[in-house]
Chains A and B, each alone.
Chain A
Amino acid sequence: MLIASSDPLAFNLLPFLTTIVVFSIVALALGVFVWPKILKGLDDRNAKILHEIESAEAARVAAGLKQKEFEAKLAAALEESDRMLREARAAALRLGDEIRAKNESDLADRARRAGEEIENARRTAIAELEAHAASLAVAIAGRILEREITPADQKRMVEQSLAGMSSTRG
């Protein structure tokens, strides 16, 4: 019968054999029931992460292409809008010039018409003033002569006065 020893380096066959048997069994059990599951879980996760990274990379590349496409479209749109703006500005300027020219023409026309109307009014007023002055002169002359002037006389005297004024003015 073997007995336990106080020497820590003492070799004991039973623990030696027990360890070999127990470790062999547990290594086999772990190899069948544990490590495949853990390693599959790790590999699945690695594959998933790798797939997600690759997908993200592909999405990034696609997004880059889309961005370039968008930027090209944006640049074209900006150019088109600039062109349209330039054209609109030119049209507006042209229209403004036309309107201004028309306004100026209308204004000159109105001024000319107003001048004519003023001239006509002035002539009418002068004529009326002359007629009135002739009437007054006749009336005054009648009073001076102390005699009744008939309408026929008055008319004749006015016509004479007017003729005199016209000749004077003329």
Chain B
Amino acid sequence: MSETSAPEVQSSDLKVIKNVTFEILRYSPEKDEAPRAQKFQVPVIKGMTVLDGLLWIKENLDASLAYRSSCRMGVCGSCGMFINGLPRLACNNQIVHLNADTITIKPLPNYNIIRDLVPDLEGFFDKHESIQPYMIREQVEELNNPTGEFFQSPDELVDYIQFAYCIKCGLCLSACPTVATDDNFIGPQALAQAYRYNVDSRDEGAKEREEELYSSHGVWRCHFAGACSDVCPKGVDPAFAIQLLKQNMFMQKLHVHKQKPATHVIPWVAEHIPNEKIPKAPERTVK
């Protein structure tokens, strides 16, 4: 059995590079009438993210500081905050890269504040749910008791894979100027997910989503400010999905949009027959 050793941590990596002021907007519903700013001095080491800074404050200076976080690697979408003038993930931004001596952190705008940096995302998830973000098929029986797989080509996958990367962090809604004034606007996240399912070759739910998408608070409320796409940490580009939904609707009205029939079911492969042209995988090195 071979062993792999972890890379050695150099002592220079743990050296404090500089001290940075974290100016955090605090709000406690029991004590505060309005949010108030509080400053903390944080020693910064190489590679330290804004989230690391918040964890350091919580461990060393003020245990009452509230924020959401989980994966620390830009995957779970929990640590969305308004950092130095932009909605960002705290775990995805290194303090040194922000190039500032003071880091201002506020809760995401356009969401109610529960406490400190914790936004209320309930309405956000309600909007996501409203566009039916799941596979809809006429063959309900096949969905419940599958006899095979829905066929999909690699090209068909590329049509929607970009939009399937959404981690539901909510940054796009906090950047959107339409959401700032229209509570009922479905918002870039949910609209992008509607497009993601509509364009999926295995889905047949476009008609069912139509009413919600093309309502007075649907796609036509977007005027392509593009801020949602600018702040998306996963490159989902919700503004693009919304323009494509508008294009589809326009083409439908002109009767030139051809809805492709949903892909067929291909039965399970009963027995795996290896392709002789593909060389065998090497023996596993770790057992």
Q: Are chains A and B native binding partners rather than an unrelated pairing?
A: no
Tell me the A residues contacting B by CB distance below 8 Å. Answer: none
Tell me the B residues contacting A by CB distance below 8 Å. Answer: none
